[in-house]
Structure 1
Amino acid sequence: MKNFKLFLFILCSVPMLLWAQVEQSIPSKVKKVIVYPNGAQIESEVSVPIQKGQMKITLPGLTSKINQESIRIVSDGSFTILNVQYKVDYLNQLDKNVETQKIITQMDEIKSKIEEEEVWLKIIRDKMEYLSVNKQVSGKNEAINPETFATMTQFYGSNMETLSLDALKRDRLIRIYREQLMALTAQLEKVNAHQGTPSGVIDVTIDGKQNTTGKMVFTYFVWDASWFPTYDIRFMGFNKPLEITYFANIKQTTDIDWTDVEIMLSTAKTKVSAQIPFLYPYFLGFYRPVTTTQSKMYSVDDKVSVAEGVSQDAAGNTTVRGNRSDGEITIVDGVRVRGSSNPTNNEAYTPALETIKEYIVESKQSIPSKSTITTVTYGSGTLEATYDYQTIPKLGENVYLIAKLPNWGKAELNNGVAKLYLENSYVGKSFLNTTQYKDTLDLSFGVDNNITVKREKVSEFSQKSFIGSKRKESIGYKITIRNNKSYECTTSVYDQIPISLNKEIEVDVIDINEGSLDKENGKVEWKINLKPNETKTIFIKYSVKYPKDKQVVVQ
């Protein structure tokens, strides 16, 4: 009978033991992240001890900000996925991140220093009290000769002086440590704002084909991440291409640090819905540029020189016009980028195809979960360019270095701020607006003081006269330009002839020194080739006739 009861006990216990073995809680680590302008897709991978039959795999310690519809689980073939459930765990909170642990360690070190200094301060004060008490006791019961008194006075005085200074020094040090502790406490509260937030948990029910170790890859999407590009563009010489460095500015507040992960950057507009989108008709029309106000993220707060082909708004922000990339696969300093097309609405009321670009950051990166931006480099390369000097002496006697990029679309540039450098000198910022349709992109690298220009009024030609009922004003200017460089260069000089808006006002061009005149807008352009240390002079002369009883301002 006893053997039968023991058999029943074992028989009932086996299923319970088997059930305990088929529930596995497996911690995971972020392996790869695709960062979008307004979100991120996170990928993790775990090894799973598979047992034949049904079992439940729990993936704890995830961010609680997962978009539930975006969860994807991939099996290596050793098991079949039966069910996936996501939940938020309010009991098991997320672990402290690396930055939090670092601050806590610093605080503990400072607390230890404060305790040590307080102990020393107590010892010093006890010594000072002991000396004071003995000073009062000495000489009460017996007379003290002068030599003994002098020795005691010197001993007391020197020791009290040393102890008092040491006490003052340690008291000041304690106050400094406490100020540091207060600053770290405030920093901890700021960094630790997300501590105490719940964690996310994914429960996966699977059917194992056999006892083995399988691999499970799972991905999900979060909205609490973003990135935007910036660039460094350097002019290194007239016979050299421009050098460009690509930067990604990444921010994520998912409450989970991305430590040593693979990063891919995408310009795609994220859509999480599992429903297939509707393909609307693709209508073609003429492109109509639309002036837009950029967000503060891309504001240009430094002074930027404005050149031909570069627009500037009332706030002083500069926009460099250019064309978009064709989306072909390109290699930028070993970084493979690829493109595809996705329909989107265009602000100019003409639907256009948005070029989606993806960039692989070659080395693994660590992006902490915090409200500040982490900047990483995702490529570098060169841009073929032609260089030109441009000046408008009527508006200012400055000569600007302009780089013209005819094939800039192949550089895989996106909307963003570019910092411009003239060799190793920083000259300012420009906002690259890649949605503008122009084959050549112009970049101004600021004023070059080695080329000088001067515009002077020619007094002997500038005069006023009367012809019948008409008043005639003749205007002439002399423009002198000099090349102080050690090499030959070409400079584009711009001036203008006034355009009459009234048939009673007649404008006659007298001399533009072989300049090119655009009659529609009155712009005159000269291409001046200057050898080293060479000076050239050009003239612009014109006359204006109008009724003598009318007033016209002629400059």
Structure 2
Amino acid sequence: MKRIYTIALLLASLTRVVAQEAEQTVSSKINQVAVFLQGAQITRHASVPLKAGVSILTLTGIAPAVQQQSIQVDGPASVKILSVSFRINYMEEHKKPEKIKLLDAERKRLTTLITQEKSIQEVYLEEENILKTNKSIGGTEKGVEVAELKAAMDYFRQRLLDIKQQLMQSERTIRSYQEELAKVDAQLTELRAIKGQPSGEIVVKVSTKAATTAELDVNYLVNEARWFPSYDIRAKNVKAPVGITYKANVSQQSGEDWENVTLTISSANPSEQGVRPIIKPWIVGYNNALSRRTVSGSMMTVTAGNEVHGKVMDDEGQPIPGVNVVVKGTSVGTVTDVNGNYSVPLTSDAEAVVFSFIGYNAIEKRLDKGSEINVQLAPDVTALNEVVTVGYATSGDDDSDDKSRIYGSSAQKMKREITATEVIRQTNVEFKLDEPFSIKSDGAVRATDMVEYELPAIYEYYCVPKLEEDAFLTAKIMDWDQYNFLEGEASLFFEGKYIGKSILDTRNTADTLVVSLGRDSNVLVKREKKKEYSSRQFVGSNQKVALAYEISIRNKKGLPISIVVEDQIPISNDKEITVDKLEDSHGEYDHNTGTLTWKKEIASGKTELITLKYAVRYPKGNRMLLE
């Protein structure tokens, strides 16, 4: 009898353990998101009633592409976290968004209308064929009265005219339906990535000595989220400071919507490798593979201010809207429009552009084949449960004496936090938005202003008439590096008008940040070759070519201007070739580059002249490009 009681006690104990370890489904809500340049850290909060002992908690509705190694669970000291795991539940798919349902219904409606309209066209075409093939009037033995012939011709003419008009109207109707259908298809393409995705689950095993309600925070990283910076740069006039609005363009396709979350924008990039580089011995020797260096001779030099543009399509030739287009190694980027078109400005050291979109394989294109790059993205067939391990990254012209050109010098440096609070971390900068923010998992880019700066600037014009006879107004901003800017596209506004796009190239500048504010047609620049001072003559075994140019700058504005003009003379790379600078109107000459620079102050309505003369001597019988 005692043995039976012992067994019964053991069974009861095991029953309690099994009951205690039964899985408990837990609802949670995303309340915080930190978006990185690539990826985002999600914070979910759950309030969970726990019994004493061991419990297994299952958080459902998680994004399917969670980076498993990044999952962290925080709870009160009274609750011990025993284990954390992640799994995919293929039986529970995310609900198809209502927007997709409506678009599917609209697509079916438009397709039906197009089919109906084409059927009507076929009927009219058939009637037209019948009229054309049945023109015989009367019999073979009896002629046709004039009145009958006239009535028949009137009928044929009127009916054929009606048919032609109906066909034209039908063609316009079909074209209208097709345009609407193209818009619907483009929107569906943008949202296709969230259709039919499985649901992720985070399973947490916890232990507690007494019954309690635990407040749990679950953090994890998702890759399919990003942000890129852009700027609005505004100048009222050349006497006002420059206003720079720092903006974040955020998008995500993680598989879960962020509704009214506390959003933080971070300059960190967890997708970059965080291991510090280690220099190794460099061994030099003949026929030694370690002594070789790879040199790419086909790389095209790209200067700031250029841009690349093109179209992104799928493997069937259909445009893909919402594709992320980023200059490799930078934060400069944009997204394709509804027709798959894009244009993105380039930094001075740009080498390649990366195209990425959820559900497709990313493509990298080098910038050595011109300014237009069209690409086709192929579908990504990678399994959804594949886990990628990532590491967290660690990173780390003074004109102040020229008072005549510091028009904004009386302005104080100001920073106005519009919708975000700036926090400077050890290795990155964060902007915490003050108001709750919502971002759907649809890949659409949502822009938000973060911080606005008002900075004193030096305004001056810049021109290289040898390349382009236009004067560009520039604003030179001192001590820009204290504002934690990242390189990005900038929209320019001057005197209350939008004047175009430029690039804030923060990685390739010195103490002064120069922002181009566009062309000014009221500053006329002309570069003319002076034939009377140009000549070609032979001296012994050499020939000497003398060239002369005159540069005129006229100020048609109502205010005096300051302008920097640049030109150049050739540089010899052969001892048999000599270059002599004959006249330069007191320009600053750089012997290493051959560049000549003039800084001119020009009063309103006045014209300034610059003369440049040089001569090149080289052996006879050789050809040389000297202009």
TM-score by length of 1: 0.66
Amino acid at match of 2:524: T
Tell me which of 435, 442, 445 is aligned to 2:517.
445
- CA separation of 1:272/1:21 partners in 2, compared to 1, >3 Å: closer, same or farther? farther
Q: Deviations over 1:129-177 (max 9, x none)?
A: xxxxxxxxxxxxxxxxxxxxxxxxxxxxxxxxxxxxxxxxxxxx9xx99
What's the CA shift for 1:217? 0.9
Calculate the aligned-residue CA RMSD, in Å: 4.8
Amino acid at match of 2:266: S
* Counterpart-to-counterpart distance in 1, 2:520 and 2:64: 55
- CA separation of 1:502/1:296 partners in 2, compared to 1, >3 Å: closer, same or farther? same
2:476 equivalent to 1:404: yes
- CA separation of 1:475/1:33 partners in 2, compared to 1, >3 Å: closer, same or farther? same
> How is 1:378-457 mapped onto 2 (pairs within 5 angstroms)?
378-436=450-508, 438-457=510-529
* Counterpart-to-counterpart distance in 2, 1:256 and 1:196: 13
What's the CA shift for 1:459? 4.4
What's the CA shift for 1:22? 8.2
Paired position in structure 2 for 1:521: 593
Which range is displaced more, 460-469 or 400-409?
Answer: 460-469
2:402 equivalent to 1:333: no
Q: Kindly indicate whether the alpha-carbon contact (under 8 Å) linking 1:35 and 1:265 is maintained by their aligned counterparts in 2.
A: yes
> How is 1:297-376 mapped onto 2 (pairs within 5 angstroms)?
297-298=326-327, 333=417, 335-339=420-424, 356-376=428-448
Q: Kindly indicate whether the alpha-carbon contact (under 8 Å) linking 2:194 and 2:441 is maintained by their aligned counterparts in 1.
A: no
Paired position in structure 2 for 1:152: none
What's the CA shift for 1:364? 2.1
2:559 equivalent to 1:530: no
What's the CA shift for 1:212? 4.1
Identity score, percent: 32
What's the CA shift for 1:219? 1.0
Paired position in structure 1 for 2:82: 82
Paired position in structure 2 for 1:51: 51
What's the CA shift for 1:333? 2.1
2:530 equivalent to 1:488: no
2:240 equivalent to 1:240: yes
> How is 1:203-352 mapped onto 2 (pairs within 5 angstroms)?
203-270=203-270, 296-298=325-327, 333=417, 335-339=420-424
- CA separation of 1:502/1:485 partners in 2, compared to 1, >3 Å: closer, same or farther? same
Q: Secondary structure at the match of 2:533?
A: coil
Paired position in structure 2 for 1:540: 612
What's the CA shift for 1:98? 5.6
What's the CA shift for 1:390? 1.4
What's the CA shift for 1:260? 1.3
Q: Kindly indicate whether the alpha-carbon contact (under 8 Å) linking 2:245 and 2:452 is maintained by their aligned counterparts in 1.
A: yes
Amino acid at match of 2:479: N
- CA separation of 1:358/1:502 partners in 2, compared to 1, >3 Å: closer, same or farther? same
* Counterpart-to-counterpart distance in 2, 1:364 and 1:380: 19
Q: Kindly indicate whether the alpha-carbon contact (under 8 Å) linking 1:385 and 1:406 is maintained by their aligned counterparts in 2.
A: yes
What's the CA shift for 1:467? 6.6
* Counterpart-to-counterpart distance in 2, 1:102 and 1:209: 51
Paired position in structure 2 for 1:141: none
Amino acid at match of 1:221: L
Q: Secondary structure at the match of 1:409?
A: helix
* Counterpart-to-counterpart distance in 2, 1:202 and 1:540: 74
Paired position in structure 2 for 1:117: none
Paired position in structure 2 for 1:200: 200
Residues matched between the structures, number: 449
Paired position in structure 2 for 1:165: none
Q: Deviations over 1:255-302 (max 9, x none)?
A: 2111111222233332699xxx866658999xxx99799994347976
What's the CA shift for 1:233? 2.5
Which range is displaced more, 293-302 or 482-491?
Answer: 293-302
Bigger-Rg structure (1/2)? 1
Structure 1 spans left out of the alignment, 5+ residues: 1-7, 115-172, 319-325, 342-354
Which range is displaced more, 187-196 or 476-485?
Answer: 187-196
* Counterpart-to-counterpart distance in 2, 1:82 and 1:357: 34
- CA separation of 1:440/1:550 partners in 2, compared to 1, >3 Å: closer, same or farther? same
What's the CA shift for 1:250? 2.7
Which range is displaced more, 381-390 or 93-102?
Answer: 93-102
Paired position in structure 2 for 1:69: 69
Q: Kindly indicate whether the alpha-carbon contact (under 8 Å) linking 1:83 and 1:206 is maintained by their aligned counterparts in 2.
A: yes
Q: Secondary structure at the match of 2:482?
A: helix
* Counterpart-to-counterpart distance in 1, 2:624 and 2:368: 28
Q: Deviations over 1:21-56 (max 9, x none)?
A: 986433111111122233221101111223344434
Structure 2 spans left out of the alignment, 5+ residues: 1-7, 114-172, 283-294, 303-307, 309-323, 328-332, 335-341, 352-366, 373-394, 397-413
Q: Kindly indicate whether the alpha-carbon contact (under 8 Å) linking 1:384 and 1:407 is maintained by their aligned counterparts in 2.
A: no
Q: Secondary structure at the match of 1:191?
A: helix
Amino acid at match of 1:496: Q
